[in-house]
């Protein structure tokens, strides 16, 4: 994600407009599912049938999950992102397995739970601390289900550092590892990310999987 001016003081309407604007131009992401997530779920697949993708953007992770047998709900603050996501799901032949919902997660209150809840790079220049949201998200995970949080930790060397707080692995583990939850895995992942001009670079992310007790 490129660096943008820090936007801590945005109202909810401005926050939405910020993301609508970012998605209104050229396609922002690669269209491929996130590598560290695919790797983690290939080693240990999801147990269950349903998944919720928080801040799903243009839908690549949601589509990958649907292609692997899950019924998926993808939520994002930006309609413009969801339009691209729906188009990509149709092209991939999984439109009937994914429901897209436009909502601001900061006040969204779903009335159901999912076997997997995923937050892939749910970063925003407007929000420095995702802990309050992750606290609410816990309730959206079905008993026995899991929550996966994939976060950026360090931008590639050729790119300016992110202009927002990026939580350390310890911070995320501390936030997610509560009574009634077990940390199934927590680690840093390194992904090759050369610059558009071909200069070498690596990005460091964190991936934490926690499971809710079955009852
Ligand atoms: C860095 S992008 C990541 C997109 C996607 N998960 C991925 O990994 O490619 C962050 C996404 O979160 C969404 N987002 C940020 N704040 C949100 C909020 N409060 N409610 C819903 N979506 C939000 C943005 O619109 C954006 O699509």
* DSSP H or E run through 22: helix 12-24
Atom 13 of ligand 1, nearest CA residue: 55
| Whether pLDDT at 143 is above 70 | yes
- What is the residue whose two structure tokens read 């499971």? 211
| Per-residue DSSP letter, 94 | -
Tokens at 100, concatenated: 């897209």
| Ligand 1 centroid – CA 65 distance (Å) | 17
Structure confidence by residue, pLDDT tens digits, 151-180 = 999 999 999 888 788 888 998 988 888 999
Q: How confident is the model at residue 7, as a pLDDT?
A: 56
Domain coordinates in residue numbering, the chain:
12-212
In sequence order, what are the beta bridge partners of 63?
none
Structure confidence by residue, pLDDT tens digits, 83-119 = 999 999 999 999 999 999 999 999 999 999 999 999 9
- Report d(CA 211, CA 40) in Å as an integer: 14
Pick the CATH number of 12-212 from 3.40.50.150, 3.40.50.300, 3.40.50.720, 3.30.470.10: 3.40.50.150
| Ligand 1 centroid – CA 150 distance (Å) | 12
Q: What predicted TM-score, i.e. pTM, was given to this entire model?
A: 0.94
- Report d(CA 193, CA 155) in Å as an integer: 9
In sequence order, what are the beta bridge partners of 102?
76
Give the ligand 1 atom nearest the CA of 124.
Answer: 15
| Ligand 1 centroid – CA 30 distance (Å) | 15
Structure confidence by residue, pLDDT tens digits, 34-66 = 999 999 999 999 999 999 999 999 999 999 999
Q: How confident is the model at residue 164, as a pLDDT?
A: 82
Q: How confident is the model at residue 28, as a pLDDT?
A: 73
| Whether pLDDT at 25 is above 70 | yes
- Which among 23, 28, 55 is the best mutation to test ligand 1's pocket, defined by most ligand atoms within 8 Å of the CB? 55
- Report d(CA 5, CA 126) in Å as an integer: 9
Which residue would you say has higher pLDDT here, 29 or 56? 56
Structure confidence by residue, pLDDT tens digits, 110-141 = 999 999 999 999 998 888 788 899 999 999 99
Q: How confident is the model at residue 4, as a pLDDT?
A: 40
Pair 210, 147: CB distance under 8 Å: yes
Instruction: Identify the residues whose C-beta falls under 6 Å from ligand 1.
Output: 1, 19, 29, 34, 55-57, 75-78, 81, 104-106, 120-124
Q: Any residues with CB less than 8 A from the CB of 42 and at least 6 apart, and which?
A: none
């Amino acid at each position: 994600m490129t660096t943008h001016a820090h936007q801590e003081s945005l109202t909810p309407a401005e926050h939405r407009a910020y993301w609508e604007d970012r998605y209104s131009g050229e396609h922002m992401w690669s269209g491929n599912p996130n590598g560290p997530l695919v790797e983690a779920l290939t080693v240990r697949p999801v147990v269950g049938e349903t998944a919720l993708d928080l801040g799903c953007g243009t839908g690549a992770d949601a589509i990958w999950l649907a292609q692997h047998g899950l019924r998926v709900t993808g939520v994002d603050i930006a309609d413009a992102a969801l339009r691209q996501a729906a188009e990509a799901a149709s092209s991939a032949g999984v439109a009937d397995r994914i429901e897209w919902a436009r909502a601001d997660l900061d006040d969204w209150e779903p009335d159901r739970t999912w076997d997997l809840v995923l937050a892939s790079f749910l970063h925003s220049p407007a929000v420095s601390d995702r802990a309050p949201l992750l606290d609410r998200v816990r309730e959206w995970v079905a008993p026995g289900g899991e929550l996966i949080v994939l976060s950026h930790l360090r931008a590639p060397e050729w790119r300016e550092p992110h202009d927002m707080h990026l939580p350390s692995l310890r911070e995320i583990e501390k936030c997610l590892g509560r009574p009634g939850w077990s940390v199934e895995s927590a680690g840093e992942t390194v992904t090759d990310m050369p610059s558009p001009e071909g200069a070498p670079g690596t990005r460091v992310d964190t991936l934490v999987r926690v499971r809710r007790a079955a009852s």
